[in-house]
């Protein structure tokens, strides 16, 4: 498919990750997953030339680039992704009680944050961001 939507989903909680993955796949999206920042960055870099991702969804608290559990791993990955593809829309995943950290991610260039738990909401958020992207693309 030529305008296939490719999404990179990085989260260390397997059930959370799989559930979100299924929701996105059902919406017709192509999803690649990773369980930590290191793996996520590797997948992103590998795909960059051939089939770059349209959007990344990144958890905050997970193993970081060194593989060590780190509450700021998502921020680390965020800067790596933006360094390679500055216009990439990134959604930061957060627990309901970590919204402040997620807001900090916005100031560091994330497009939006999403509080885990209501996956229909995540899907809406992804659609909204992609529509905005399309509009900007049309304007250009």
Give the nearest distance from C-beta 39 to other proteins in angstroms. 11
44-63: which residues touch other proteins (CB under 8 A)?
A: 62-63
Contact with other proteins (CB under 8 A) among 7, 8, 10, 36: 36
- The stretch near other proteins (CB under 8 A) out of 43-51, 84-92, 93-101, 126-134 is 93-101
* b/e per residue 57-91 (b: at least 16 CB within 10 A): bbbbbbbbbeeeebebbbbbbbebbbeeeeebbbb
Pick the closer one to other proteins by CB: 39 or 88: 39
Report d(CA 65, CA 80) in Å as an integer: 10
Q: Exposed/middle/buried for 125, CB within 10 Å: 0-12, 13-18, 19+? A: middle
Q: What pairing do the DSSP bridges indicate for beta strands 62-63 and 55-59? A: unpaired
Contact with other proteins (CB under 8 A) among 4, 69, 124, 136: 69
Residues forming contacts to other proteins in the complex (CB under 8 A) are: 12-16, 18-20, 22-23, 26, 35-36, 62-63, 67-69, 95-98, 116-120
């Amino acid at each position: 498919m030529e305008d296939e939507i490719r999404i990179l989903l990085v989260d260390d909680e397997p059930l959370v990750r799989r559930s979100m993955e299924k929701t996105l796949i059902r919406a017709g999206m192509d999803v690649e997953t990773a369980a930590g920042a290191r793996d996520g960055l590797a997948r992103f870099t590998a795909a960059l030339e051939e089939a770059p991702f349209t959007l990344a969804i990144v958890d905050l608290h997970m193993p970081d680039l060194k593989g060590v559990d780190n509450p700021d791993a998502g921020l680390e990955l965020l800067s790596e992704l933006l360094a390679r593809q500055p216009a990439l829309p990134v959604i930061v995943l957060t627990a309901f009680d970590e919204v402040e950290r997620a807001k900090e991610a916005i100031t560091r260039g994330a497009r939006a944050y999403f509080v885990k738990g209501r996956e229909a909401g995540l899907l809406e958020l992804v659609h909204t961001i992609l529509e905005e992207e399309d509009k900007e693309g049309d304007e250009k």
